[in-house]
Amino acid sequence: MTKSLLLDTNNQNILAAAKQVLTYNTTSEGIIIPAQGLYPHQVLWDSCFIAIGLSNYNLKLAQKQILTLLKAQWLNGMIPNIVFSPGLRYWLDRHIWRSRIAPQSNPNFATGGITQPPMLAEAVVRIGNKLTTSKRKQWYRSVYPALLAYHEWLYIERDPKNRGLVTLIHPWETGLDNTPPLIATLRHQHEPRWINLVTRLKLDKLADHIRFDAKYVDYRQRNSTIEALSLYAALRRLRKQKYNTQRILEKPPFAIEDLTYNCILIRANELLSEIAKTINETLPPLIKNRIIRAESSLDQLWDNDQSEYFSRNFTWDSFIREPSIAALLPLYSGAVSPLRALELVKSITSFENKGVNFPVPSVPPDSSWFKPMGYWQGPTWINMNWLIIDGLKRYGFNRQAELLTRKTLDLVGNNGFYEYFNPLNGNPAGIANFSWSAALAIDLIMNTKATEL
């Protein structure tokens, strides 16, 4: 048997269609936005996933996505979740965030006032792996100072208890906006009276039909109106404190040591170390220490009672025992023992017995929260599958990785590049022509084992 480097016909069609989606979502400035209409701005972790896909066929465009993000970096090292597009059309978006009120913001860019999962180092290395040795070093040197400043900011400002785990101050920072642990935490905080009034008067039912996002997506596939209002209220409280972490954490509207984010950061630290080694730079003790402590830090989020990983409430120092896909992200971190990794793999395969034909659901189907088309409360997301597949490969679970890859490509091959999918029957949901679904499909195809003939 010989191995062919040719892709099968179906994969060739997926590749061609995926590239068309990325071209469709490219702005005149060369930035690829998440999707036309609903998501018109550059978004941090979206751009990282997009760059990973682009690295397989357009390195310069991939680099541009990263370099543009880094240009908007705040003076304190934070890389914001959103870089707003220019023009009067988006005045309201910029005004809602008002990043200019923060003394440490970048005066040259209108941005969000919080961050998002730190996928930058992964994207930088994926691009670097496609470059010659000399160009790789040049690329790494061009981004290393900004990357290092970002990682240092995370631990200086967001790890006040010196646990090796960073604290998030808004659900949007996790990227998994309305997963059960996040909404449960918001509900336990003191909500503004006006939200309680909206609930009592059932005004949210009226708002369901006039929401901005309802112009593009069925509102039943999004955050509920009450969830959206709670998320906005939490943002207002951050803005009132001018996005000052120290002041915010004195009485936070929301503060958790998020499992997903910290798993991604642990992996990002390892990749940052790889970048530094390549260009003969020495990581500062702060980052070295966090790399050494990675496994023990993550172990703090393991609940012996339920034999599962959970996020932890920063204020009350207690686990947020609500189910979500975050429990599987330690695979991506690479910081858990092979035995514990095996337990996580078993939980993935168990979904087959729960009616899940297209894993991995963002919430287990036996959860009371489960909504198969409900944004982050049930659907399968291509980016989460990509993270899990990457972790499976690095732990040597190649058969499971190949199976999940095929299931993932079946979703986009049969339905197109939607934002997310029903894990039970594969039906598409969210907005169409979603960039990271297209970009990561490209990456999965280009890095799948060659077909045996």
Q: Which residues are tagged catalytic? A: 177, 419
394 phi-psi bin (left φ>0, alpha ψ -120 to 50, beta other): alpha
Q: Which residues are paired to 168 by β-bridges?
A: 256
Rounded CA-CA distance 417/414 in Å is 9
Q: Return the closest-CA partner of residue 389 out of 310, 307, 438, 448.
A: 448
Calculate the alpha carbon distances from 451 to 8, 53, 398, 431 in Å.
8, 20, 15, 32
> In angstroms, how far apart are the furthest CA atoms of the chain?
69
Q: Are 327 and 310 in contact (CB under 8 A)?
A: yes
Copy the structure tokens of residue 333: 């971190």
Dihedral of the alpha carbons of 111, 117, 118, 124, in degrees to the nearest 10 = -90
Handedness of CA 269, 271, 274, 276 (dihedral sign): negative
**Amino acid (1-letter code) at residue 20:** Q
Q: Which residues contact 408 (CB under 8 A, 6 or more apart)?
A: 382, 385, 386, 389, 441, 444
Instruction: Write phi, then psi, for 88 (nearest 5 degrees).
Output: -60, -30
